[in-house]
Structures are given as structure tokens and as C-alpha cells.
Structure 1
Amino acid sequence: MRLLLLACLRARTGNATTAARIQNHLHAAGHICVLKDAFMYESQTEIASLTSTDKFDGALAIHLYKGGRLLQGSRIPFGIIFGGTDVNEDVKCEEKHRVMGAVLEEARFAVAFTVKMKELAAAEWPDARKKIYVQTQGIKTTPKETFDWYRFLQNADWHRKEPSVHLGIIGPAVDPLFTSEVKEKIKRAPGVHLLQEMPQDDLHAAMKRCFAVVNSSISEGMSAAILEAMDLNIPVLARNIPGNAAIIKHKETGLLFSNPQEFVVLSKSLMNDPIMEKEIVTRAKDYMKKHHSWESERKAYENLVLRLQ
């Protein structure tokens, strides 16, 4: 089949890497899968013209609202992959809620990364429960053998004497206003350094040279960064929100914090207890092998797209 995959493709974001991974799975199954950035289109008419001109047989979209709304009324069958924003944020808006419900009604299937995400969606749109499948993200990390921290820290204007503990914030500047606020706060926070986004193999190499990976998000579907850290045997400290708690069991496969003070206490306990650190990374790695198999994810999507025939 010739398949269209709509997603928010901002370079080196979670959405982009997830879309590329799913594209790879579908290519391996013998399909042609074309990635398109949902932000490049404004209406269903534009997508209808695209699918007609390029003769697509089916489509997938990541995020019910951001991508799925563009497939409403489509001449081709489609499936939907939930994003955390769908069930955590967009569902609060009456118009977006209505649109997402209409998208689910038309979709042949929908994929939720966690049971919790499925239950939240089913509570909002009960009629769609039977078509929502749970498939966790499959992770395969590929770190470079070498990584030059100094080169990246120079880019972060590293001019202070290196403290014993420091925090590197790595990622693309998606929201200009928020980015400017972060930069201003960092100026007053010695030991905190804002680094530019980097290729995934560089990022994985950087993670391997860190003591721990921190996720401080206030809204998550399923954080690939957390899963990648677990796969790389790096302990994780994450904010205690549903999306993170779905993949981290506190003090077993990672540490969950609810406020800055708790974060500091847990960080110090991890640094001062090498036995706990080793036990956490060992259990986290076992959890990854059992629940986030890249091969299992590939097989799941190969089977799901058959519903578009």
C-alpha cells in the first residue's frame, strides 16, 4: 500500500522521531510510507487533493487534533495514533473535543501508548473503546562511540567554572516566548546550561555520559527520552504525572518527584547510594525488554495497517 503519515515533524522532537520509526516499520513490511508535516496544511481540502493526486491507499496521523482533523471526510481509510496532548490538553477545549470525537468515529483504528491513555480516551468517547489498541513505543538506542561534551558546552556559553553538579537542557526551541523566559532564568542559575538540539546518536551518547536523565514535563503521553535513558542504563528522575508514572515505578525503575524540593532530595539519595542506582537501572532495563520491544512495535503496526485495506 501507499500510505500517508501526517505528524508534527519539527526536527529532533519526539513526534518526529516517533513518525520516522513508524515509517521505518511500514517500509519493512513492504509498504510505501510518505511523511508529511501536519503544520504545512490548513484544511481537509488540501489533504484530499494530496491523497488524490499522489494516489494514496490509506493514511495514519499522530495526534487526533493536530493531524487527524485533516483526514476527516477523507476518501481513503485512515488510522490514528494518540498523542499526550490529545487526552491531557486538547480534550479540555469543547471544539477540539468535538473534532477529535468525529475523527475517532471515522478512523478504522486508534493507537494509545498506555492503558491509562486508552481509558482516558474511552471515558470521553465511549463508542470508540473497541477500536482503541494499546501499543507502547518500541525503543532501539544507537549512541555514538565518542562524544565531545566540550564542543556542545562551548556553544552554551560555558564561561563559569564547572560546578560539581550541573544540569544540561537539550532540545529545539519550539516556543520562542517560553525559550526566552528559560534563557533569562538560566542566566541567574549557575550550573544550568541550555544546549542546542543534536542528532539522536549524539544525544544518546551524551545521555550515556550523564549521571541521570531528568523529565520535568507537566504533561506527557509517553516520553521516549525516558525510555531511551532506561535502555541506555541511565537512571531517570521524572515529574510524577500520569504519563511518567505509567512507565516508571517509583524507587524501582526510576524516581518520581512532585516538587523541586523532592527532586533535590531524591537526586542526592541517588548520588549517595550506588547500590540503589544499580538496582534501578537493572530493573528499568528489564522493564524495557519486556514492554518496549522495537520488534513488537514493528509487528503491531504491520498488522494494524492491514485494517486499511
Structure 2
Amino acid sequence: MKVVLVTPNFHQPRGNTITVQRIADGLKSMNVDTEIVSTTEDTEMTFLPEADVVHGFHAYKFYSFMEKLDVKPKSYVLTLTGTDLNHNLFDKKTRPDVLTCLRNSVAIHVFNEEAKQTLLSEVPEVKEKTFMVPQGTEILHDTKADYQKQENTFLFVLPAGIRKIKNVPAAIEMMEKLHQKYNHVRLCLVGPILEKEEGKIVSEMVEDNNDWIDYLGQLPHEKMGTIYYQADCVLNTSHSEGQSSAILEAMAHGLPALVSDNQGNRSIVSHEKTGFIYQNSDQFLDYAEKIMNNNTLRYKIGESAKEYISQNHSSESEIKRLLKIYRKAL
């Protein structure tokens, strides 16, 4: 079997890139031939490589890419990654394309049950071909990256590409209040600037607070293990998520997660069991203080997070279930 994985922005270090590369590696370990095509970089393509299965990621961007091809795939499997389900499906301008893409697919993959219910409430006719498969994840090694946590500090890490949907300025504002109360608090931002204007805002805020904020920019994925090993807590402040690969990885390393209340985060973080889910700034600060000031609680939640990931987000299980979808589609 040969599978072509078609995804946007593959050459940028985004969550989707990590997801697609992990799936490609997993398929190869099962002796499946794979090829990755980037819908945003491979713009001169007029047809896709020959394959038994075409697997597209992000309904709207995949559909827009297909429309430009001279030879369109006869059939395809589709993964909804987050913004396509939470935004493009409800945007009057993009909704028709998303609906067409969904209806013409032979199978649809979502990461969690809530995403499935959102999809079926809008497009009930795709129920029989919709499958829920949680993302897999893995433990990353400590590669001794250049970054070094300061002694006697409490380190929050926010791994995110800098774009509006990730809500990084709000994270800095909330963390600034926390730092005013606890001067040993530190914040480390990791991720490339993906939107210029948002990058300018974040860069200025970091410069104004450079005594306690470090912005590392883009790091190779394999170096993230070192960051997780040094961190005390991982943050996600996104307006919406599909299912954050960074949060999954951090939890696999035994880190408590403090995350915003959105569909993707709720699918992997159980409030006060494997992390904390906040709805406003006051809750964020309250939960951050709990994590900082109770070592027993922090350890217990971190261990629960690690156990949850090992039981529910196995990369091997993810690949086996995707292979079942491919075979059913064939």
C-alpha cells in the first residue's frame, strides 16, 4: 500500500507538521510506502503522486489545493485538524468548500468525540464514514539544547507558533500579573512567528519583560525534549485547538498542563486530574498559584497526565486504527 499525506505548511514547525510526520513514520514502520505533499509549498503541482490512499489534512486548505490540480484524486480520506472544523465550517465564505470536501471524502478522521459531535451536528449525513482516532505521541529525549532554566525559578513553557489564534499576548499579560506577585516566575515561549503583525506584538511584549521572559523562536522538534525536562508547567492559551501535539508531548513527560477552555484542550486535559482548564484570567492565576505552591499536587497531576497519555495516546494504536480506515476506504 502507498499513502500520500497532503498537508498545509509542512515545512514549518507547526503542530500539523509534527502530526503528519509522526503518522508517516508510523506507517513506514508498518511497511507502508508514504509520501508527503505540502499544499502551501508544492504549489506548482498539477497532480498528486500515484497512491492507493490520498489522506488530506485540513478540509478547507486541502479542498483549495485540490481545486487547482489538473488531475484530482478519485477518492480521499480527510482529517479535520482544528481551524477547519471550528472556524472554516462556520464561516459563510469558506463553509461551502468545507462541506463539499467533507461530502466527497470516503472517510473522515477527527481527534476526539466532541469534534465528532460538532461535525455531525452540522453535517449529519457523514456519520457513517466519520471515525474518531486520538493523536498518538512520544517521549522526546533530552538533547541538551542551549536553553538552561535559571536556578530557583518556576518555569512555565508555552509552545506555540505566534499567530492570533494561539492568544500569546493574553498569556504574557496573565503571566505578568503572576510575576508581579512571585518574582521567581519565568516564562519560556517556543515557536516560530507565523503571522507578522502578531509576531511584532509578541516581540515587543517580550522585550518589555525580558528579565523574566525568554522567547526561543523556532526550535527543531527533537530539541523540545530538553525544554519539557526543564519546565515545571506547560501552557496553552489558544482560542481553539484541534488537539495540541505539544500539550500531549508535555503531558507524556509528566508535566501538569494549564490550558484554555476549548474543544481540543478539553479532549486531553481532565480538570484537576491531569491539569487545569481555565475560562478567564482570574481562574488562570488561581490555578497557576496552585500548581506553583503545592509540590505534592503538581507531582500527582503530572503523574496522572503521564499515565493518561500512555493509556490513551499510543502512536502504535493510532497507526493501526488509521490503517483500518484506509483499508475500509479501499
TM-score, length of structure 2 as denominator length: 0.83
Q: Map of 1:273-292 to 2, 5 A cutoff?
A: 273-292=294-313
- The alpha-carbon deviation at position 126 of structure 1 amounts to 0.8
What's 2:131 paired with? 133
- After TM superposition, give the deviation of residue 145 of structure 1 in Å: 4.9
* 8 Å CA contact retained: 2:4, 2:37: yes
Q: Deviations over 1:19-48 (max 9, x none)?
A: 111111222233321111111356xxx66x
Partner of residue 282 from structure 2, selected from 249, 252, 261: 261
User: Do the aligned partners of residues 68 and 306 (structure 1) sit closer, same or farther apart at CA in structure 2, a change above 3 Å counting?
Assistant: farther
1:177 pairs with 2:172: no
Range that drifts further, 62-71 or 286-295: 62-71
Paired with 1:36 and 1:114, the residues of 2 have a C-alpha distance of: 25
Residue 164 (1) aligns with residue 184 (2): yes
**Residue 145 and residue 172 in structure 1: after superposition, are their counterparts in 2 closer, same or farther (change >3 A)?**
closer
2:47 corresponds in structure 1 to 50
1:154 aligns with none
Q: C-alpha separation between the residues in 1 aligned to 2:307 and 2:29?
A: 26
Q: Distance in 2 between matches of 1:217 and 1:300?
A: 28
Task: Tell whether 2:17 aligns with 1:11.
Answer: no
Shift of 1:296: 0.5
Unaligned runs of at least 5 residues, structure 1: 152-162
Task: Tell me, in whole angstroms, the C-alpha distance in 2 between the residues paired with 1:276 and 1:268.
Answer: 11
Q: Does 1:109 align with 2:124?
A: no
In the aligned structure 2, how far is the partner of 1:181 from the partner of 1:10? Answer: 24
1:29 to 2:49 alignment: no
Q: 1:163-206 CA deviation, whole Å, 9 max, x = no partner?
A: 52110110011111110111112222341222121122211211
1:185-204 map, 5 Å: 185-189=205-209, 190-204=211-225
What's 1:62 paired with? 57
d(CA) in 2 for partners of 1:65, 1:7: 11
Q: Is the 8 A contact 2:7 2:57 kept in 1?
A: yes
* Map of 1:85 onto structure 2: 83
Aligned equivalent of 1:97, options 71, 95, 98 = 95
Residue-pair matches, total: 293
Secondary structure class of the residue paired with 1:217: coil
Q: Does the 8 Å CA contact 1:26/1:301 hold for their aligned counterparts?
A: no
| Contact 2:57/2:81, CA 8 A, preserved across alignment | yes
1:186 aligned partner, one-letter code? V
| 1:69–1:100 contact (8 Å) kept in structure 2 | no
CA apart distance, 1:4: 1.8
Instruction: Tell me the amino acid that sits aligned with residue 259 of structure 2.
Output: A
Q: Say yes or no: does 1:235 pair with 2:260.
A: no
Give deviations 1:260-294, integer Å, cap 9, x for gaps: 33222211111111111121112112211221111
Q: Contact 1:58–1:76 (CA<8 Å) still a contact in 2?
A: no
- C-alpha separation between the residues in 2 aligned to 1:148 and 1:167? 16
Letter in 2 for 1:265: D
2:206–2:213 Cα contact (<8 Å) kept: yes
* Equivalent position amino acid for 1:164 in 2: H
Structure 2: how far apart are the matches of 1:257 and 1:115?
A: 21
Give TM-score, length-normalised by structure 1: 0.88
The alignment partner of 2:6 has SS state of: strand
Could you say which residue in structure 2 is the equivalent of 1:155? Answer: none
Partner deviation per Cα, 1:101-149 (whole Å, 9 max, x = no partner): 1111111101000000011111111101111100000111222253332
1:144-163 equivalent positions in 2, closer than 5 A: 144-150=142-148
The DSSP-based 3-state class of the residue aligned with 2:94 is helix
Amino acid across the alignment from 1:259:
N
Residue identity matched to 2:316: E
Q: Equivalent residue of 1:88, what SS?
A: helix
Distance 2:328 2:54 in 1: 11
